[in-house]
Every structure is written in structure tokens, then in C-alpha cells.
Amino acid sequence: MSKLPALRGSELIRILARYGFRVERTRGSHVRLAHPDGRKTTIPVHPGEDVGRGLIAKILRDCELGPDDLV
């Protein structure tokens, strides 16, 4: 497994949008993304902070994507 990059929440949302995920709803600083085939995940968007690598790994598992898909 390759090392996961440090990403901001907004960057991660932009990457997942390329794979067909769309914003379903926003509650506070958390954005819920959904794919037409039923996959869903939640991404925290805190200004000035990166999403932790462990959380990025969890989001990728939820989305059924691999670390190479982030490049």
C-alpha cells in the first residue's frame, strides 16, 4: 500500500467528484457524499486543517477506492 497524501477536505471532495460522488447534504463542517450506486461517505471540512491519513483510508474503503485513485 502506498503512503496516503495529506489532503484538505475540500480537495478530497473534488477528487471523489471525479469518481461520480455528489454532495448529498452538509451539516456543520461535515459533508455527506453519495454515489448513484449507493456508496456513501462523510468528509470533515475544517478550514486550515488536513484530513488525517487514517480517516482518508476509511473514506477510501467506504468509497471502494484505493490509494492510487487519489493521484
Per residue in 5-63, pLDDT (tens digit) is 889 999 999 999 999 999 999 999 999 999 999 999 999 999 999 999 999 999 999 99
Which pLDDT value is given to residue 42? 97
pTM above 0.75, yes or no: yes
Question: What is the rounded CA–CA span in Å between residue 1 and residue 21?
Answer: 23
CATH of the domain spanning 7-70, picked from 3.30.43.10, 3.20.20.70, 3.30.920.30, 3.40.50.10800? 3.30.920.30
Between the CA of residue 58 and those of 14, 47, 65, what are the distances in Å?
Answer: 17, 21, 10
Residue keyed to cell 478530497: 12
pLDDT value at residue 58:
96
So what's the pLDDT on residue 3? 84
Q: Which band of pLDDT confidence, cut at 50, 70 and 90, is reported for residue 71?
A: confident
Report which of 45, 38, 40, 46 is spatially closest to residue 58, judged by C-alpha positions.
Answer: 40
